[in-house]
Amino acid sequence: MKLKNICLGIVCIAALSSCNDKMNYHEYTTYDKEYVFSDFGRTAGFVNNIYSYLDEDLPSLVSFASACDEAEMAVNYSVILDFTNGNWSALNPKSLWGYYSGIRAANYFLKEAQDLDFYDLRFAQDYESQMARFNRYQYEVRLLRAYYYFVLVRAYGDVPFTTEVLTEAEANSISRTSAATILDFIANECEMVAPELPITYTGIPDASGGDNPETGRVNRGTALALKARTLLYKASKLFNESNRLEWWREAALANKEVIDYCKSNSITFGKYTDLWGANNYKASEVIFARRVGDTNGPEVNNFPIGMENARSGNCPTQTLVDAYEMIDGSTPNANDPYTGRDPRLKMTIAVNGDKWPDTNPNPLETYIGGRNGLPISYATPTGYYLKKYLDGSTDISATGSTGGKRHSWITFRLGEFYLNYAEAVFKYLGTADATDTDFRISAREAVNTVRNRTDVKMPGLPEGMSNVDFWTRYKRERMVELAFENHRFWDIRRWKEGGINSIDRMEITKKTNGSFAYKRSTKALVWEDKMYLFPIPDVERRKNKNLTQNEGWQE
């Protein structure tokens, strides 16, 4: 995507996938201020298209889960493999530069929509309610712009930054702004817009509220959540090499604010499995979800090979399975490695012998020579298939009657912020059990709150753990709780503790007596420390000579 898209020119917004069921995107092939801002409907369409740039990582052939150690992509032609096979480069950059299109649209709206009163429409019956809705748009758009900048900084570090609508020449001469400066901007924007956004759109007496509220719009919780996540990243080693403790304190306070907000607004832990399925956007701990719409894409791309139309896709690794602790603290039985594990394993990962999915007439056979195992082309290379974020009742066969079902991507949820808080307060106070007047819940207690959710009930981490032991178990807990939610890929980078050199697999063979043998194997991956940050796309540097390259990515 060209950086010149920041510039002011023809406003060209294409309708992309829907944020939610009721936010209808309008496809514009033009136009100028007079066209877009002379009608409430066109203005709403313009804002809804800014929403359309929101990201999601539902399990697909390009999911980040298979670009780290959560999963291995079974489909050998997937471009996600370039992250780990040595083909990643500035010429093959896996570019996220397209978010500048969303930023450019946001800047355009914030400039051109200032002081509009739609005077010609003042006698319309719903004028006041439409104006109330319009006056909120500026805060929604500022928050979306902040989110898009976060996505860019998370990937690239220092990036070009502007809140203005630039000419093409200006856009192609802009230098990179420091990550710290942009992260501060994001946090400040979130703090400023949060009070201007509703806690919920239900009951607001205007065109987007009432008894049938328009869902999918950012709210106050979204702003607080983005601020908290941003400050956690700012405090992490990738952006905080000197380990400024005050940055960790700021992160802990921001994440505590999210937890307090959730307590005040009945956002609470429910069942872990409520986090996916057709109604997951209604789950009790959801702060904000991107409504993707009706699709069977995740199921087609991830149901087990051996089922009609299934592609296997993101196959959980043995590395991930190892993160699921035994309930009683024991060592897993080598001949029965899944019994007695953290309940989230069974909810997240399909193992040999599972009846998965519901539309599969046979139990899974992931062993060598099995119905769903190697050497069948594209069968799981790890011994496992994915459950999380998939709807097991979907029939993807040619005669299937269920079709695509609603899917929503959870951008922010309560569980993340207990873990974020635990990490920040641990780094700030120095031990897992420490508290003070600002932080009355210890890092250990915060982690245990997550482990104690309704359908998990894992034993709490004990008092008196060494810092090394707590940090090891914290990272394991984060890997388990947030599996396949697009955190692991980025956590590895922000921690800057070493990359992913390999993943473990499980090779299962069936014995003549019907029992199974389990043998671990390892697959080497390509990692270089330059991969903590993405390369600046070569095509952008050719257009803009002021764009420096991230260290190690020079061709």
Mean pLDDT of successive 10-residue segments in the chain (555 residues)? 40 36 44 81 92 97 98 97 98 97 96 88 84 94 98 98 94 96 98 97 72 79 99 98 98 98 98 97 97 95 97 98 98 96 98 97 97 98 98 92 88 98 98 98 98 97 98 98 98 97 98 97 98 98 97 90
What amino acid is encoded at 117 in this protein?
Answer: D
In this predicted structure, what is the pLDDT of residue 9? 37
Pairwise CA distance, residues 40 & 36, whole Å: 9
In this predicted structure, what is the pLDDT of residue 15? 32
Helix (H, G, I), strand (E, B) or coil at 339: coil
Pairwise CA distance, residues 406 & 165, whole Å: 36
Among 295, 273, 298, 291, CA closest to 283: 273
Confirm if 550 and 535 have CB atoms less than 8 A apart: yes
What amino acid is encoded at 94 in this protein?
Answer: K
Pairwise CA distance, residues 323 & 516, whole Å: 22
CB-based contacts of 210, cutoff 8 Å, min separation 6: 203, 204
Task: Please state, in angstroms and as integers, the Cα–Cα distance from residue 360 to each residue in 300, 305, 311, 355, 400, following that order.
Answer: 13, 11, 14, 7, 12
* Angle, CA 454 vertex, CA 448 and CA 456 arms, to 5°: 65
In this predicted structure, what is the pLDDT of residue 212? 55
Pairwise CA distance, residues 298 & 57, whole Å: 10
CB-based contacts of 212, cutoff 8 Å, min separation 6: none
In this predicted structure, what is the pLDDT of residue 202? 87
Pairwise CA distance, residues 539 & 542, whole Å: 5
What amino acid is encoded at 109 in this protein?
Answer: F
- 32: tokens are 């100028």
DSSP 98: T
Among 158, 169, 163, CA closest to 141: 163
Residue with tokens 């780094």, as numbered in its chain: 427
> What are the chain's domains?
1-53+98-193 (1.25.40)
CB-based contacts of 125, cutoff 8 Å, min separation 6: none
Return the beta strands (E) in 191-319 as ranges: 286-295, 314-316
Pairwise CA distance, residues 474 & 492, whole Å: 13
Pairwise CA distance, residues 87 & 33, whole Å: 44
Pairwise CA distance, residues 317 & 329, whole Å: 21
Helix (H, G, I), strand (E, B) or coil at 209: coil
User: Burial of 352 by CB count in 10 Å (0-12 exposed, 13-18 middle, 19+ buried)?
Assistant: buried
Q: How many helices (H) and strands (E) does the chain have?
A: 16, 10
Pairwise CA distance, residues 305 & 362, whole Å: 12
Q: Which helix (H) or strand (E) holds 181?
A: helix 179-193
Confirm if 165 and 185 have CB atoms less than 8 A apart: no
Whether the pTM exceeds 0.85: the reply is yes
Pairwise CA distance, residues 84 & 531, whole Å: 10
Three state DSSP letters for 528-546: CHHHHCCCCCHHHHHHCCC
